[in-house]
Amino acid sequence: MRLTFNHHPCHHQRLSYRHQHDVLSNIKFQSRYSSQAFNSQSDLQESDQNQRLPHPNSGRSATMTRSSNVTFETISDLYKSKTPITMLTAHDFQSARLLAMSSYTSSQKSNQNQTSKRSLPNGVDFCLCGDSLAMVSLGYTSTNELSLEEFTYHLKAVRRGLDSVLQPPPIQTNENPYHYRMPLLVADLPFGTFEGQNPDRGLRTALRLVSEARIDAVKIEGGLEQIPLIKILKQYGIPVIGHLGLQPQRIAGQGGMKVQGSKEIESARNIIKTAIELESSGVVGIVLEAIPEKLSIEIQKKLSIFTIGIGAGPSVDGQVLVTSDLLGSLDSIKPRFIMDHPSNGYHVSNLNPRWDLELQIIHEYINQTRSKRFPNPNGQHSYKMNSSVFNQLQSEGWT
């Protein structure tokens, strides 16, 4: 998932349980599901493991980190409390570890936060391994060139990166244990691995990703044609996040990398209608990419599930960005919806200045999103809708 409008670059300690599934021609798939996504208590209960381990930098013992897990009940609580949800992408071990590290807090700081009137969660809620890695990390010209084998290889590295925060933080200045929130790991279903009238193909793909990379949910681009697959994945206990608006896997049919639903009434009407149908089919949330803010507002009014926007304005329930766009590590033109951050506004003080800088930028993204300062309410990061299209939506009763 990526948008530039000039080219398209868009366990912690956990329990597992096994399911056997008979799919086409008596083929058996054994899948080990992460309990994180389904355990409503895991975000509320810290790991009781608090061991003394050798610290890699200090040459002495250090307190083991304590963990809490983001679950879909956590997401539901954020949604109900109108606390913006945060999502960023990771394509390898290092980027995933960076996202996981963004939630580190000392126990002393954690206790201080609990005494405040309303503390906002640290870290990202979702780590998305999307097929944007095809262009961002592998140099392909399209996300559609990414094979399932390549994607699985990267996805497993992302899982290892998230799990790596079991180790003590690289720099620890006191004896207070460190706490972290493990984000939910969401994976795209790559192009060509789930399409077709028979949903069994998509089921096999999802089961493989759950089994080999221990993902917590899948994200699927598409519309009404994906409803049979969404329903069968729900039956197998795999949460599904929909993806509407600009869909990089279908840019040829959408007329290129452009805002959707802004100038054509049929497009705007179809996005609203499809969002309603996807919720009815069982998706837990929907990503809205490159649609006008007015349209995202109308979609939100009709849904009781969370919406996460990328170029969809500040009124959605959460935000997602491609991490390399946020960090400015690509030589492409910065998309309109990327958060601004001052080049000289950060203070690098440790032995890994690049890591420190990137972590501060991610912290700033989380803080600005949680506090509803990003996207900017004045429309700086949003797209406008043709007034005649919006008026027609109103006359048809879609608003």
Q: Yes or no: say if 212 and 157 are a contact pair by the CB < 8 Å rule.
A: no
Instruction: Give the full edge-to-edge strand order of the sheet including 66-69.
Output: 66-69, 178-182, 105-106
| Beta pairing class for 178-182 and 27-34 | unpaired
- Reported as type and span, the H/E element at residue 53 is strand 52-54
- Non-local (6+) Cβ contacts of 125 within 8 A are 70, 74, 75, 78, 85, 86, 87, 181, 183, 184, 318
CA 218, CA 35: separation in Å to the nearest integer? 15
Number of helices and strands (H, E) in the chain?
12, 15
The catalytic residue among 289, 293, 358, 364 is 289
Burial of 110 (0-12, 13-18, 19+ CB in 10 A): middle
User: Is 289 in the active site?
Assistant: yes
Instruction: Fill in the DSSP letter of residue 170.
Output: S
Residue 169: both structure tokens together: 């933080």
Of 374, 291, 361, nearest to 325 by C-alpha is 361
Catalytic residue list: 289
